[in-house]
Structure 1
Amino acid sequence: MSLSWHWRDWPLKAKLLFLTLSTSALGIALVCFSLATLESRNYRNQMASELDTIASILAEQSAAAVLFEDRGQLNNILKSLQRIDTIQLGCIYDTAGNLLSELAQSSNAGSCPDLAMPQRLGFTDDHYQLLAPITVDDDTIGQLFLKCHLEVLDHHIRTFALAALGIGLVILVFVAIVAIRLQRVIAQPILALSDTAGQITQAHDYSLRAPVAGNDELGQLGKVFNEMIGTIESQNRRILNSQRELERTVEERTAELSLANRELEAFSYSVSHDLRQPLRAIDGFSQAMQEDCAGQLDQTARDYLSRVRSAAVRMGHLIDGLLILSRVSRQPLNYETVDISAMTSEICRELVEMNGDPPTRIDIQPDIRVGGDSRLLRIAFQNLLENAWKYSAKKPERRIEITAEPGQHAITISIRDNGAGFDMKYAEKLFTAFNRLHSPAEFAGTGIGLATVYRVIRRHHGNVSADSVLGESATFHVNLPLPA
């Protein structure tokens, strides 16, 4: 688990304290490093200046001894360096670079260098080396070489760094104490806001408000939060009121719908019993008159009587269509997997047995399956196939084709015929009850079949549409859900 993940899970107080202390520690570390660097540079410059002064004094004192090559005097002069602990090695040369005198104050001081070779002067590694000329009347008569260790410098820098670190820790502790007190001022309003939000979430009590202190950004945040909760509270109150009103409306509409359903059932009963009886009487007596009194009636009377019988039959078909339309609207759905290919094949066989003229060619795509109520779907597809059968009856050869195109959740079934078709500008009237695009003289019908189809398909959460070329063909597209 990464540090960033831990950081996101830290409490706000811990984050504020960590940021304060880390920023302060970084600042203190940078200050201490800067001071240590500056102190080291100043101490080095001071040390180099002091050694240059010592070298100048020794060169002036040893000028006469070098001029007369008085080695004893030179040794005495170099012995004066024993009081200076930092100097490890001292060497005096003549103008030819020959060593005249040497002083080594420690075993690791090394030996005097050969001046014929180039020398590294100044601060080198852990030493400081210098080479000063010995002159008489501006003429160089020799060279003075000094080598010093830097232990005193290192000790001084370490002491300074430890002192700076101690002071920095003391400052950091003081900053931590101040930060702990100050972070409460910043974190407390945010924590109070978080607690209020948690209480509202758990109890769904939108009357709670977060405490607001001050007019700074945190205070403004608290005010905006309280305004937002107030808005939610008022909206929630309106939603509850609307919900109660909606429930009352639904109850009223349900009662009205139940009453309408009872009235519709009563109407259906009346249609199926009360209206059929007089229609049967009209048709029966008209038939009796045609059979028994035909000789007593002239041609006009017999024509009128035939029209009465045709109207009675048409009225009977209309009542049957209305009863079917009413039944498909109220009948509960029983979902199952329905084999549309087998169903349409059976319907087409029945149509061929009833009327096989003209010659008919039927193509049905196999294995078309949908999810739905088999009884209602049979009513819908029977109406569609009867329409195709009826409107293609005047062709030399009737052709009906049933195909399907499956989608992700639904399947589109197309029923195409080579019949009379219809004008597409009247397509929106196809599925409205009692609307017909052809006269009864051309094709018989009640105008209820396609309305029944539309009602059945919509109850299955599907859709039905049609397209046509007038005088050539018509295609009905039925979209239904796939079986689960």
Structure 2
Amino acid sequence: MIGRWRYWRLKTKLLFLTLFTSALGIALVCASLIFVENQNYRRQLESELHVIAGILAEQSAAALVFEDNEQLNSIISSLDRIETIQQACVYNQQGNVMTSLAGMDKRECPVVNQQMEVGFVDEVYRLLMPVTLDNEVVGQLFLTSHLEVLRGHIRTFVFVATGIGAVILVALVFLALRLQRIVSEPILKLSKTAERIAQDHDYSIRAPVSGTDELGRLGNTFNDMIGTIQQQNRRILESHDSLERIVDARTSELSMANRELEAFSYSVSHDLRQPLRAVEGFGQALEEDCGDQLNEAGKDYLRRIRAASVRMAGLIDGLLVLSRVSRQPIENQTVDLTQLLQEITDELEDISDDVPSEVHIQQGIRVIGDSRMLRVAFQNLLANAWKYSAREEKRIIDISARKEGRWIAIEVRDNGVGFDMRYIDKLFVAFNRLHTPSEFGGTGIGLATVYRVVRRHHGEISATSKVGEGASFVVKLPVSGDQG
């Protein structure tokens, strides 16, 4: 019942509540009237029996004193005309029955010297009254009255009360059917208006409003709200058109910027390299042909010129790689990352340094992504770990992978010099370096390139470290191939 209540229509709920409350009220009133009438009739019956008993006791007092049974029988026989009297017994002073009047059940008179229940007992009313003469008790009078008349009266009263209650309830049903419309119809009209607006998306529709009560104010508030939504929708549509024009303009500008960036990359790749090669070539020729004519300061300057040209070439290469990974489309495929990492490690081990290396790569690492970009990213990560662990007695690099929900996390851990976590926000920004060029070489573009590749794969990268205790880089890539 309670579970289905929320599925009822509003008019049904209102009608049910009205009728339920009315029926409950009528039932309580009828029950109260029946109870009161039953109590009143009992008191009336009790009062009548006391009056009859008092008269009989007064009439039979003298007959008891003189033990005149004939007179007592004549007095008791007068009770035959009273239908409610079921039994009557007259006792003398010693408690012996002098005369009695028995009904159809022919019951014997009870013994009065025992403890007797009086009042309403079982299905009868019992009355025991002393018979006195000159304030002296000369006997006892015992009467019992059946309650059939009382029950009949109560049944009649219940029938009449139920009939009146039913008539009132029918009248209330008719009245409730008419009155509930006053409350339900405005709400139903408001509901239908809301449904039409939701289905047609027509915010020009308004709900009919009648009256100035709470329902009327609700209708006005609803119409004001729809008007506000209509205005906002109009502004949104206008903003949408304006935004489309802006997006088209920005897209055109972005396309032009991409073309200019491609032209710039071409210029960097060809035009800037040529002067650098000339600087490097002439510097080398100067060192070989005229090195004997230079003093130590001149030789130092020449070495610095050649080192700067090499570093500039490295910067150009890094910028070209960063530009390429930012622009080129991603071609997703399953990549055997274990094999790719092993190839990168083999290339790094060809570097001529005297530090013994131990690289542990977890087997069976497979990811979804662009193999060219992933090679660039992990080549920079491994080169970074290789470089910063070069001062240890033994270089140790661990590469492992684990599943974390919808991610696969690849961790690259080294035992190098580490870095201060206070500068973590600068770690993946281009040209920001946490160590000086005199300590470790580099361009400051490698980790920025790694960050760009990972973000283009809709992944995440993080790093943790302590100075002198190595560093750990964790790359998280989506398990599914929904990158773009």
Same fold (TM over 0.5): yes
Partner of 1:212: 209
Which residue matches 1:21?
Answer: 19
Q: Counterparts of 1:307 and 1:218 in 2: how far apart (Å)? A: 88
Percent of aligned pairs sharing the same letter: 59
Aligned to 2:473: 477
Q: Does the aligned pair in 2 maintain the 1:369–1:482 contact within 8 Å?
A: no
- Is residue 298 from structure 1 mapped to residue 296 from structure 2 by the alignment? no
Aligned with 1:80 (options 42, 65, 78): 78
> SS state of the match for residue 62, structure 1?
helix
Matching residue of 1:328: 325
Q: Offset at 1:466?
A: 4.4
Superposition deviation, residue 298 in structure 1: 3.1
- Give, in angstroms, the shift of residue 409 of structure 1: 3.1
1:49 is matched by which residue type in structure 2? S
Q: Distance in 1 between matches of 2:133 and 2:303?
A: 162
Relative to structure 1, the CA distance from residue 440 to residue 145 in structure 2 (aligned partners, 3 Å threshold; closer, same or farther) is: closer
Q: Secondary structure at the match of 1:116?
A: coil
SS at match of 2:350: helix
Q: Distance in 1 between matches of 2:214 and 2:382?
A: 74
- Confirm whether residue 201 of structure 1 aligns to residue 198 of structure 2: yes
Distance change (3 Å), C-alpha of 1:399 and 1:151: closer
Letter of the structure 2 residue corresponding to residue 264 of structure 1: L
Which secondary structure does the structure 1 equivalent of 2:6 belong to? helix
Distance 1:426 1:54, change over 3 A: closer
Note closer, same or farther for the CA distance 1:362–1:195 as it changes in structure 2 (3 Å cut): same
The CA deviation at 1:159 is 0.9
CA distance in 1, matches of 2:417, 2:149: 117
Aligned residue identity for 1:68: F
CA apart distance, 1:257: 1.3
Counterpart Cα distance in 1 of 2:38 and 2:108: 28
Q: Which residue in the other structure is 1:270 paired with?
A: 267
Counterpart of 2:368 (choices 362, 368, 371) is: 371
Q: Which amino acid aligns with 2:158?
A: A
Q: 1:165 to 1:398 in 2, by over 3 A?
A: closer
Residue deviations 1:434-481, cap 9 Å, x none?
4455565655444433332222122122344445556x4652513221
Deviations 1:239-293 (A, max 9, x none): 33333332222222211111111222223333334444555566567667777xx
**Which residue type is aligned with residue 481 of structure 1?**
L
The separation in 1 between residues aligned to 2:140 and 2:422, in whole angstroms, is 121
Partner of 2:228: 231
Q: Measured at CA, do residues 452 and 8 of structure 1 come closer, stay the same or move farther in structure 2, by a change above 3 Å? A: closer
Q: C-alpha separation between the residues in 1 aligned to 2:155 and 2:284?
A: 133
SS across alignment from 2:330: coil
- Identify the match of residue 160 of structure 1 among 157, 162, 174: 157
Work out the CA distance in 2 between the residues paired with 1:406 and 1:148. 94
Counterpart in the other structure of 1:383: 380
Change (3 A) 1:15 1:399: closer
CA shift at 1:305, angstroms?
Answer: 7.2
Q: What RMSD over aligned residues (CA atoms) do the two structures have, in Å?
A: 3.0
- Selected match of 1:462 from 428, 449, 459: 459
* Other-structure match for 1:138: 135
1:247 aligns with 2:227: no
Deviations 1:300-359 (Å, cap 9, x if unpaired)? 688877776655555444433332222111111122343333322211111222425333
Q: What is the distance in 1 between the residues matched to 2:422 and 2:114?
A: 113
Aligned to 2:60: 62
| Deviating more after overlay: 250-259 vs 350-359 | 350-359
Find the aligned partners of 1:355 and 1:436 in 2 and give their Cα distance. Answer: 24
Deviates more, 1:446-455 or 1:168-177: 446-455
| C-alpha contact (below 8 Å) 1:95/1:141 kept by paired residues | yes
Distance 1:133 1:299, change over 3 A: closer
Query: In structure 2, what residue type is equivalent to 1:144?
Result: L
TM-score of the aligned structures, taking structure 2 as reference length: 0.87
Note the C-alpha offset of 1:425. Answer: 5.8
Rounded to whole Å, the distance in 1 between the matches of 2:420 and 2:83 is 121
Q: Which moved more, 1:333-342 or 1:42-51?
A: 333-342
* TM-score (norm: length of structure 1): 0.87
Out of 354, 358, 366, the position equivalent to 2:355 is 358
Describe the shift of the 1:388–1:39 C-alpha distance in structure 2 as closer, same or farther (beyond 3 A): closer
Post-superposition offset of 1:162: 0.9
Q: Distance in 2 between matches of 1:7 and 1:482?
A: 47
| Matched-pair contact (CA < 8 Å) for 1:55–1:132 | yes
Residue 79 of structure 1 deviates from its aligned partner by: 1.7
How much does 1:386 deviate? Answer: 2.4
Once the two structures are TM-superposed, the CA of residue 45 in structure 1 deviates from its matched residue by: 1.8
Q: Displacement of 1:184 after TM fit?
A: 0.9
2-structure distance, mates of 1:28, 1:469 = 84
In structure 2, stretches of 5+ residues that fail to align are none
Q: What one-letter code is carried by the residue in structure 1 that aligns with 2:185?
A: Q
Unaligned 5+ segments in structure 1 are none
1:237–1:63 distance in 2 versus 1, CA, 3 Å: same
Relative to structure 1, the CA distance from residue 426 to residue 68 in structure 2 (aligned partners, 3 Å threshold; closer, same or farther) is closer
- Report the AA paired with residue 433 of structure 1: A
Structure 1 window deviating more from structure 2 (186-195 vs 64-73): it is 64-73
What secondary structure does 1:384 align onto?
helix
- Residues 474 and 244 of structure 1: CA distance in aligned 2, closer, same or farther (over 3 Å): farther
Residue 45 of structure 2 corresponds to which residue in structure 1? 47
Q: CA deviation at 1:169?
A: 1.2
SS in structure 2 of the partner of residue 9 of structure 1: coil
Deviations 1:185-244 (CA, angstroms, capped at 9, x unpaired): 111111111111111221122222222222222222223322332333333333333333
